[in-house]
Amino acid sequence: MSAKTTLERLLAGTDVVFNGPHPWDPQIRDERAYRRFLLEGSVGAGDSYMDGWWDAEAPDELICRLLRERSHGKLLSLPLLFYAALAFVFNLQSRSRAFEVGKRHYDVGNDLYKAMLDRRMTYTCGYWSSPSGEAKTLDEAQEAKLDLVCRKIGLKKGDRVLDIGGGWGSFARFAAERYGASVVAITISKEQAALGRELCSSLPVDIRLQDYRDLHDETFDHVVSLGMFEHVGVKNYRTYMHVVRRVLKPDGLFLLHTIGSNKSLWFADPWIAKRIFPNGMLPSIAQIGKAVEGLFIMEDWHNFGTDYDTTLMAWFSNFDTAWPLLKEKYGERFYRMWKFYLLSCAGGFRARNTQLWQIVLSPRGVPGGYRSIR
């Protein structure tokens, strides 16, 4: 049986047809793509897309349909087995590896991120459908998310906040400007730290190039972590929570904003790990629960994962519009890689294969109970 025939049988019932008429149907430009799909799984699919061996008008919808029907579970590729074994044996998010994702992903170019993100350069899910009204633009959605975080922790003037994974300082700047807080933001990206310090130079904001495990002898009124926990790894979750508990005041709140997995795994999608986020992985509810047990009381758990679909599509639109100004520096293969990254992730959230959680935790419980804020 040919690779193509095998794949067609696996795709039965998904409404995905090779060289079909729909925007989500993969158009095969090189027949060798079928064998790569079959033998290499997501690595073969992503890399052959980068190589121009296949295309699709709507890769986001293609991925959404495949994940929604769970057809991906029928394929067990060699890269998946290898990466799963590697992640099981080794601590891929150890202290010695902590800065690798900064160098390979976040340091790729501030010009790219300036073009793709909102005006504050917030590289996490926006909040598009709040009870107070729907955001109409990416800028509005990101401001709504930053304000939501501040309201959930009860931020007030004079509070000192730790932002683990502070990026280019978007939360730190917002919290300082709008709420009068002082913020320490840590990142593992040199480029983020450099630009963040420039953007926050007139504010009570301290941006550090620092691993979370190197936080010592400081205390904070509140701790937030927005889109960083995906780099911590299950073998380090308990250590991470111990660090947060140590630096957080007894009456403070910790807000964890993270992408989440529906299943407990210890490895990431192999193509994402290879090309986009080295050493990353998504936590599950069970893994987070085990990590916080005995250290925190869970006050609130908020899922707005479908908003990440909208955010990623907005990022791709910005990236695609800006590409004529970026292509000379980055090249066509990077364009196809970045396009596949953004749109395939959008498809994953659309299929509800991945979630976005904001979790509020307290060291010893909010007196009288925590009032959920949306």
Catalytic (active-site) positions: 345
Residue 186 and residue 166 in contact, taking contact as beta carbons nearer than 8 Å: yes
d(CA 78, CA 250): 47
Query: DSSP E strands: which ranges in 210-344?
Result: 220-226, 248-261, 297-303
Please tell me whether residue 364 adopts helix, strand or coil conformation: coil
d(CA 236, CA 233): 6
CA 214 to chain centre: 23
**300 Cβ contact list (under 8 Å, min separation 6):** 152, 358, 359, 360, 370, 372, 373
Residue 2 and residue 34 in contact, taking contact as beta carbons nearer than 8 Å: yes
What would you measure as the largest C-alpha separation in the chain, in angstroms? 69
d(CA 264, CA 284): 5
Query: For the residues of 280-307, what is the DSSP string, one character each?
Result: ----BHHHHHHHHTTT-EEEEEEE-THH
Please tell me whether residue 123 adopts helix, strand or coil conformation: coil
User: How many of the other CB atoms lie within 10 Å of CB of 220?
Assistant: 21
Q: What angle do CA 255, 319, 23 make, to 5 degrees?
A: 100
